Amino acid sequence: MADWTSDTIDWSRFDPGLVAPELLRVVKAAALVEYNGRDYGAYLAAVFADDPAFAAAAARWAEEEVRHGEALARWAQRADPDWDFAAAAARFTAGFRVPQDATASVRGSRTGELIARCVVETGTSSYYSALAESAAEPVLREICRRIAADEFRHYKLFYDHLRRYQQQERISPVGRARIGLARIIEAGDDELAYAFFAANAPAAARYRRKDWSRAYAALAYRFYRPHHVERGIAMVFKAIGLPANGWLHRNLWPLAYRFLVWRARRLVPEAA
Ligand SMILES: [Fe+2]
Ligand SMILES: [Fe+2]
């Protein structure tokens, strides 16, 4: 269990002069997604109902995600005292819900569910590493560093259980790759775009997924550096059973990084 909460953070170091507006916008969105962690915890408890050890680990995991949300929200409210976190969180959950009535994984198998969880933790560990390295504001830097460390640990938690289930279910290499890829593509779906909208849009604004997912990606992609992409792709490869540092990884990650830079450049003028 993570040994920190937002009270562990030394808030006296907060420097409002070093708050970057674009980081503030993505941090507000991240706070909403993290704070929603209990919904995922309930979903995982239902999917793994007859595996109490995993269900208990998933419940602890969900509480850690909620704490991430609390720390990020506290920072965002320091940086922008007019921001109403409770109202934004209510707006987010009114428009986006994790399936609450599932009894089996939406990925088709438990191995598949755990691959998807590993992909998500790969995304969050890379993202908070990138935010920590981009942030000039010392408190945000510390929060993102602590969260990134938790997200790497979460990846390991899901990966350990993934190995166990893969031995029982024996999903084919193609099947595993397909699940991993599907979850990566889903990152462009509603959850992040809607969180970005709920956290930042004026009250009268209407949600259009295409606009808000572009606006979010235009901001978020620019924080990544080559080493984040290199490590992130190695982690996804490991989760789907491919060699993490083999030929394919060496050749794929620079292309993925170039794609990200190209996408970020293309998105910026429309989002501005
Ligand atoms: Fe988190
Ligand atoms: Fe996590």
Q: What is the pLDDT of residues 156-193, one digit of tens each?
A: 999 999 999 999 999 888 999 998 888 888 876 788 99
pLDDT tens by residue, 142-155: 999 999 999 999 99
Exposed (0-12), middle (13-18) or buried (19+): which is 80, by Cβ within 10 Å?
Answer: middle
Name the band, by pLDDT with cuts 50, 70 and 90, for residue 104: confident
187 CA distance to ligand 2 centroid (A)? Answer: 15
Identify residues whose C-beta is under 5 A from ligand 1, the ion.
34, 65, 68
CA–CA distance, 63 with 32 (Å, rounded to integer): 14
* Residue 100 pLDDT grade (very low, low, confident, very high; cuts 50, 70, 90): confident
Residues in the chain: 272
* Residue 67: per-residue pLDDT: 97
What does the alpha-carbon distance between residue 78 and residue 16 come to, in Å, rounded to a whole number?
8
Q: How far is the CA of 272 from the centre of ligand 2 (A)?
A: 30
Q: How far apart are CA 13 and CA 157, in angstroms?
A: 32
Q: So what's the pLDDT on residue 144?
A: 98
H-only helix segments in 170-246: 173-186, 190-200, 209-220, 226-240
pTM of the prediction? Answer: 0.94
Instruction: Note the ligand closest to the C-alpha atom of 33.
Output: 1
Ligand 1 midpoint to CA 191 (Å): 14
Query: What average pLDDT does this structure show over 126-145?
Result: 98
Distance 32 CA to ligand 2 centre (A): 14
| Cα 40 to averaged position of ligand 2 atoms, centre (Å) | 11
pLDDT in tens, 208-230: 988 998 999 989 999 999 999 99
**What is the band of 272 on the pLDDT scale with cuts at 50, 70, 90?**
very low
Instruction: Note the pLDDT of residue 188.
Output: 66
At residue 264 the predicted structure's pLDDT band, cuts being 50, 70 and 90, is confident
Least confident span in 18-27, 121-130, 258-267: 258-267
What rounded mean pLDDT belongs to the chain? 92
DSSP 242: S
pLDDT digits (tens, 9 = 90+) for 75-85: 999 999 999 99
86, amino acid identity: A
